[in-house]
Amino acid sequence: MGKLNVKGGTPFGSVNLCKSCTWVQYTVGYKETDVLVICQNANPNIQVPFPVHECSDYNDKRLPNWEQMEKLAITIEPTRTSKKTAGFKIAEILRPASSDFDESEDEDDFEDSEGEGSGDKRDFVDAVARSR
């Protein structure tokens, strides 16, 4: 006999949606059956006695919130010198986030290097600064 699929039927597995929700207190004991799930979104908090497949107030704690996304975002502005020109420019020059970076050491190494392309980096930085 073949396998029969029913839409809206019982889902396979028992992965609990509450494990990744921000509103849950999820406690697991030593046995598989020792699981305590308390939903803190309801008032008063309720114990959930079964694995949840779908929830209307589910909030995934693995996803970044709005403030975290704004912190990671790069601001870009459209650049147009004519109707035929298309593209974007970065609003500000990106710098390393760590405070351990010493610019004077980097510039000394750059000035000591000789040969082709030694002025390319400085020319690029100057061109970006002028485009602002």
Q: pLDDT tens digit string along 78-122?
A: 666 666 666 666 655 556 565 554 555 444 444 444 444 545 666
In a domain, 48, yes or no: yes
**Do 83 and 124 have their domain in common?**
yes
- Average pLDDT in the chain: 74
**Do 28 and 47 have their domain in common?**
yes
Q: Band the pLDDT of 33: cuts 50, 70, 90.
A: confident
Q: Band the pLDDT of 36: cuts 50, 70, 90.
A: very high
Could you list the residue range(s) of the whole structural domain that residue 40 is in?
11-63
In a domain, 3, yes or no: no
**Do 89 and 116 have their domain in common?**
yes
Task: Please name which of 46, 39, 43 lies closest in space to residue 22, comparing C-alpha atoms.
Answer: 39
Backbone φ and ψ for 29, nearest 5 degrees, come out as -95, -165
Which of the listed ranges 37-41, 100-104, 127-131 does the model predict with the highest average pLDDT? Answer: 37-41
In a domain, 69, yes or no: no
**Do 39 and 87 have their domain in common?**
no
